[in-house]
Amino acid sequence: MNNTPFLFALVLLIVLTASGESRAAQLFINELFHNDNFPETYTKPIPREEKPMLKPTKDRPKIALTFDDGPDAFITPQILDILKETQVTATFFVLGEKVVRYPEMTQRIFDEGHLLANHSKTHQDMAEMTNEDIVALELEPTSEAVEKVTGYYPTIMRPPYGSLRTDSNRYLAENGWKVVRWSLDTFDWDSTRNAPENLIKRIEDFHHPNAVVLMHCNGRETVMALPRIIEFLKELEYEFVTVADL
């Protein structure tokens, strides 16, 4: 019996599998600035399911915790208390309407050394807006509201839902805005899978150097999971930075 075809197929399968794992290890993203490789539209946050890369040996790996949809009067102060107690710096992508409603909390975020960034005024899907309206109706009013409270004008933004056309991505970059999405979604926004242990498990499974971690200011599950998330990442010697410092 001639086993040559079988052996050839087996060797081919091994090669393809190995190369696929190698490619997958490189797929996690660091989307700080400008990237034209996104599809025309995102309708909801897109998770990255790749396994973590090995920890760098020379320098401490960096990671950026980010919190969307604040500030508010209940969840945001609890998050800030945890960050202060653990001496962790984070990035808050704030909504303009809430900045106006909670100026004291906006000021506290700024005073405690965290980065304030722009998450739009009203959380509209920007893929359905003209480029001019994105800036005039959503981004500029939000950054102006932050500036009125803190004296700081954010130029880093994250589109609601991660939804932004490629032409808008390009337009914003040309007009001085830096677009930041994420590389690790905790799914704390999804009530079907946001139990604290699930959020922790996603960090344990998918952490990686230069990760941008997506969380929100609108759920007690995030508050419950955050201390263990920070503890776990500190055990791995991660350095917590803002998205501007990745």
In a domain, 214, yes or no: yes
156 located within any domain: yes
In a domain, 240, yes or no: yes
Number of domains in the chain: 1
Domain CATH code at residue 227: 3.20.20.370
Residue 31: the pLDDT is 35
Give residue-wise pLDDT tens across range 190-212.
999 999 999 999 999 999 999 99
Active site residue 167: no
Of 34, 36, 68, 167, the active-site residue reads 68
pLDDT band for position 95 (cuts 50, 70, 90): very high
> Does 144 map to a domain?
yes
Whether residue 65 contacts residue 100, with contact meaning beta carbons closer than 8 Å, is answered with: no
* Residue 1: inside a domain: no
**Is the C-alpha dihedral spanning 239, 241, 102, 185 positive or negative?**
negative
Whether residue 68 lies in the annotated active site: yes
Residue 35: inside a domain = no
Among candidate residues 69, 133, 216, 245, the one labeled active-site is 216
Supply the range of the domain harboring residue 101. 63-245
What confidence tens digit (pLDDT) does each residue in 40-62 have? 333 333 333 344 444 444 689 99
Task: Write the CB contacts of 209 (distance below 8 Å, at least 6 apart in sequence).
Answer: 53, 55, 56, 61, 62, 63
Per-residue model confidence as pLDDT tens digits over 103-120: 999 999 999 999 999 999
